[in-house]
Structure 1
Amino acid sequence: MDFRPTDDQRAVRNGLRDLLARRFPREELRAALERGTLDRGLWRALGDAGLFALRLPEAEGGVGLGLPEAVLLFEEAGRALLPGPLVDTHLAAGTVKGAAEGEVVVTAQVGELIPHFADADVVRDLEREALARTVRPVRTVDPLTPLHRVPAGAAAPPEPSAESILLTAAEQAGSAARTVELAVQHARTREQFGQAVGAFQAVKHLCAQMLVRSEMARTAVHAAAVTGAGAEIAAAKLLADEAAEHNARDCLQVCGGMGFTWESDVHLHLKRAWVRAARGPSRARLERELADALLTEPAGQPADQV
């Protein structure tokens, strides 16, 4: 099976990358940190570009593409540190009026936490005004992901869907790939003792390990998007979480003290990776699901061939 993107898929991915380069460059990322709110113009531009309606049938006003194309776009979103409940709004397209067009921001509660950017909470089915009277703001490590805590005693939300888990994994994979780029860029340009730090073996090893993690996560995400199998989605999320978190840490190591400064983007990738990993099934649960699938003997297949 060939998992390489087709020319059309690459065109879709490159289209979003070009849009984000124009509408969400690094200067706008920094402005979003100071503003603390979503740019609704950008959100509508994402709707116009088809990010939210990507998998809706053309007869319903959508783009008519599938999950493989969606993961390519959400990788780009993760790479750019695009804020907001992108996955939830994408999954609500066709269900919540205005979500597909980017006119409405929709979120789904995960555990006790809910982003406060949203206009509607599709899972809890509450009006935004009523929700605002019951939730409490929560301090979060990621300034681009403000959260609120749902009060104790509220009805437990359903578990996140397989699609939600996979698209979040795609964002993690995109972030992991971006931190590889940041580390390599710094290693090539920063000099110590009269030569680029990338010439030192320890730095080479760190960058090589980052690349391996990133490629493994990306491949797993793409494969899960094609097969749609629960075990492969669990594996993709595990690998993508590990790649996003560990690559950001190693990128900080390559960048040294500079990586810890507020002006650097590296710490933002690490913080976002932490938040994404926490808002979803636990690592232990994903590992159990994957182990159960691996230990289950396929029907009709001898045990010695499993």
Structure 2
Amino acid sequence: MRFQLTEEQRELRAAVRGVIGRRASAGSLWLVAPRGGAADSYSPAPPRGAAQRGASRPATVDSGPSLDRVLWRALGELGFFSLRLPEADGGAGLGLPEAVLVFEEAGWALVPGPLVATHLAAGEVPGADTGETVVAAADGRLVEWLDEADVVRPGAEGAVPLKSVDPLTPLHRVPAPAPTDPVAVLLTAAEQLGTATRVCELAVQHARTREQFGQPIGAFQAVKHLCAQMLVRAEVARAAVYAAAVTADRSDIAAARLLADEAAVRGARDCLQVHGGMGFTWESEVHLHLKRAWVRAQRGGAITESEELLADDLVA
């Protein structure tokens, strides 16, 4: 049996893409062109005031990232956070497959903020469903965007600041790991899938346009192999993530998370290999995808936890 997205699911994904793209065009997200535009690409926006300061890094690195509340409310109005709430409670009454699609899109576009925590709080925390309230929660041993949150869920007590490898994801660490929510694990896998897809696209685009020795670097076998392997990992992860969204089985979710983490991290590293040194510059988004993938991979349900869950399931 072949599973295809419904017309409603495609429209939902396109709507999220449009909201993110319009906000990115305003220069707020480090991203300046919507997906599917003329270049079919997002590009990092130049930091405000960088030209006057002669700065070579984004202002957010120096002053700390600030959450885009306008985007947050726009996502709330679209129903991003209330997607799975019953219609009687003001939600869309949709399910995990639709949630996976929109979180995949957010991962593709590097949307910053505690998306998973706020989505899970919809219906419990006033204002979370509409994007008026930003919610932070401990996920494993990490809390993302603690200082920017309006509401912090129980479990984040005693959190201490932690230096984050991702300049757009401030972190705190809690003394004891928080219980793992399988939905949070699946939505993280969806974000990782978005990153895996995006870095594959970036690598192929660069391989087609960058020339060395009079021909595109994509003509070289080593680069071809890197791009092909990225595509295979992303598509295998896609099948696993979409299937887990349908079954909602903990073992399926654990398998999807393992595959998505691998596809995102290895894909971003290979994308950097294709880009070379320019992939590490602030004019490129490639290194940001790798850093975000590293951070997500440390959330609850990470490698060891998912592997142990699968092992227990096999033994049982």
TM-score (norm 1): 0.88
Superimposed CA distance per residue, residues 218-262 of structure 1 (whole angstroms, 9 cap, x where no aligned partner): 110000000011110000000000000000000001111111212
Higher Cα radius of gyration: 1
Structure 1 residue 147 and structure 2 residue 171: aligned?
A: yes
Q: How does 1:32-181 map to 2 (within 5 A)?
A: 34-35=59-60, 36-115=65-144, 116=146, 117-124=148-155, 135-150=159-174, 152=175, 156=176, 158-181=178-201
Q: 1:250 to 1:157 in 2, by over 3 A?
A: closer
Alignment of 1:1-306 (within 5 A): 1-25=1-25, 27-30=27-30, 34-35=59-60, 36-115=65-144, 116=146, 117-124=148-155, 135-150=159-174, 152=175, 156=176, 158-296=178-316
Q: Name the aligned partner's letter for residue 119 of structure 1.
A: D
Structure 1 pair 202–15 and aligned structure 2 pair: CA distance change class (3 A) = same
Shift of 1:23: 1.0
SS of the residue 2:164 aligns to = coil
Percentage of identical aligned residues: 62
Determine the C-alpha separation between the residues in 1 that align with 2:194 and 2:5: 15
Q: Distance in 1 between matches of 2:152 and 2:3?
A: 35
- Offset, 1:4: 2.1
Q: Give the Cα–Cα distance (whole angstroms) in 2 for the partners of residues 184 and 74 of structure 1.
A: 23
Whichever residue aligns with residue 52 of structure 1, its letter is F
Gaps of at least 5 residues in structure 1 are: 297-306
Q: CA RMSD in A?
A: 1.8
What is the identity, as a one-letter code, of the residue corresponding to 2:234?
S
Offset at 1:20?
A: 0.9
Worse-superposed segment, 29-38 or 196-205? 29-38
Q: CA deviation at 1:74?
A: 0.2
What secondary structure does 2:75 align onto? helix
Distance 2:293 2:211 in 1: 29
Deviation at 1:144, TM superposition (A): 0.9
Runs (4 or more) in structure 1 with deviation over 6 Å come to none
Q: Tell me the matched-pair count.
A: 285
Where does structure 2 lack aligned partners over 5 or more consecutive residues? 31-46, 49-57
Contact 1:3 1:223 survives alignment (8 Å):
no
How far apart in 2 are the matches of 1:69 and 1:89?
Answer: 16
State how far apart, in whole Å, the 2-side matches of 1:235 and 1:118 are.
31
